[in-house]
Amino acid sequence: MLEKLFKLKAHNTTVKTELIAGFTTFLTMAYIIFVNPSMLAAAGMDQGAVFVATCVAAAIGCLVMGLWANYPVALAPGMGLNAFFSFTVVGQMGYSWQVALGAVFLSGICFFLLSIFRIREWIIHSIPLSLRGGIGAGIGLFLGFIALKNAGIVVDNPATLVTIGNMGSWGAIMACLGFVIIAALYYRQVTGSVMIGILAVTVLSIAAGEVQLNGIVSAPPSLAPTFAQLDLEGALQIGLISIVFSFLFVDLFDTSGTLIAVAQKGNLLDRDGRFPRLGRALMADSTATMAGSFMGTSTTTSYIESGAGIAAGGRTGLTAVVVGLLFLGSLFLSPLAGAIPAYATAPALFFVSVLMTHSLVRIDWDDITEAAPVVIAAVTMPLTFSITTGIALGFISYTAIKALTGKFDQLNSALIVLSVLFVVKMAFYG
């Protein structure tokens, strides 16, 4: 049955190899079951329900990817997108989390349609590589800022807006220790380095009496507080169009970049260098996003951590199926997830920030028409606490600078239209 489903022999792999690869991938990305509930709790959502939604959405995405697309790519609610959900759409813009879930659902539908009608390639090719790198780095800096805030390392100040917090506090010390542990283990290529760092800080905090642990295993919490609570009518407001676009835009490039990267690493491309069954892989992502929003979590996306499983030999969808089953098994770890403090997940956020800012190395810093929009997009995201604002200013500045310097050949219709729409949105809707 497994041979028929996954064509193991054709991919030069075995059941044992795929099982090991699946377990490896899960260990590298399991931190999301601890981080995502705490992130969305900041939006007022029930942490226990989000924990269940996170595990189930990840399981659905992995199972669809594995059984239908037959790729060793795992999915889960995405980092950056969950921060955008909580701190920008809900926290800064004032929408309810129900409306935000509706926007996530609509972005999933849009992604699904783009995959069916093959518009994805046109959109991706229309956005300059430098601007994509700037947006990715900006999201990374945004996560880093949130991490420092959650750890109490950066606090507000009426005179300077922000300043350094009490570095002698338990939370700040543990956050610094957690980051050092994660970075060192990652350098030594230890599988699950991020999760080990989170658990190490949590265990030390429990031993010091800073955190209370009421068991490790229990029945899953109720999903009722977030299940089917999305507000589609509210999400259809004209002011939310840019929010839906931001969810869609980030997920589109995140997923496409991840799929291309892992396909190259695992030699999964065909003879022409193309990604077979790409449509199915993208539809697995969009399906998981729609299902996740219905249950109560932010956008679900493909994880670059899948590369760890591919490095361990994973070549088929059986790897993704194993990851999905392990996420379902994690449903019984809710007491442990609930005991993990914000300063224990802060190092994970900051580490992801480090990885995401790596995209800046691809920028042509000698060309100011390329570098300036990148810096504008990257810097304004954390400083305005808004991914949408960073994307908008990046597009607008790129188009304006290229036009004023006479480089019209580097502009296209998609860039111009999106820039005009962003100008109208910021002028009339803030």
Percent of all residues in the chain with a pLDDT value above 70, rounded to a whole number: 95
pLDDT of 154 higher than 70: yes
* Dist CA 217 CA 329 (whole Å): 11
Q: Can you state the angle between helices 387-404 and 413-429, rounded to 10 degrees? A: 120
Q: Where is average pLDDT lowest: 2-16, 67-81, 263-277?
A: 263-277
Q: Please state the rounded mean pLDDT for residues 234-239.
A: 77
Q: CA-CA distance, 354 to 366, in Å (whole number)?
A: 23
- The count of other CB atoms within 10 Å of the CB of residue 378 is 26
Question: What SS3 state is found at 178?
Answer: helix
pLDDT tens by residue, 190-215: 888 888 998 999 999 999 999 888 88
β 154-157/75-77 pair status: unpaired
Which pTM value belongs to this model?
0.81
Greater confidence, 44 or 27?
Answer: 44
Residue 63 has a CB neighbour count (10 Å cut-off) of 21
For residue 45, give Cα distances in angstroms to 219, 289, 322, 346.
Answer: 20, 18, 29, 19
Chain mean pLDDT for the chain: 87
Contact 134, 374 (CB under 8 A): yes
- Closest of 395, 352, 363 to residue 249, by C-alpha: 395
Please spell the DSSP secondary structure of 294-322, one letter per residue.
HHT---EEE-TTHHHHHHTT--SHHHHHH
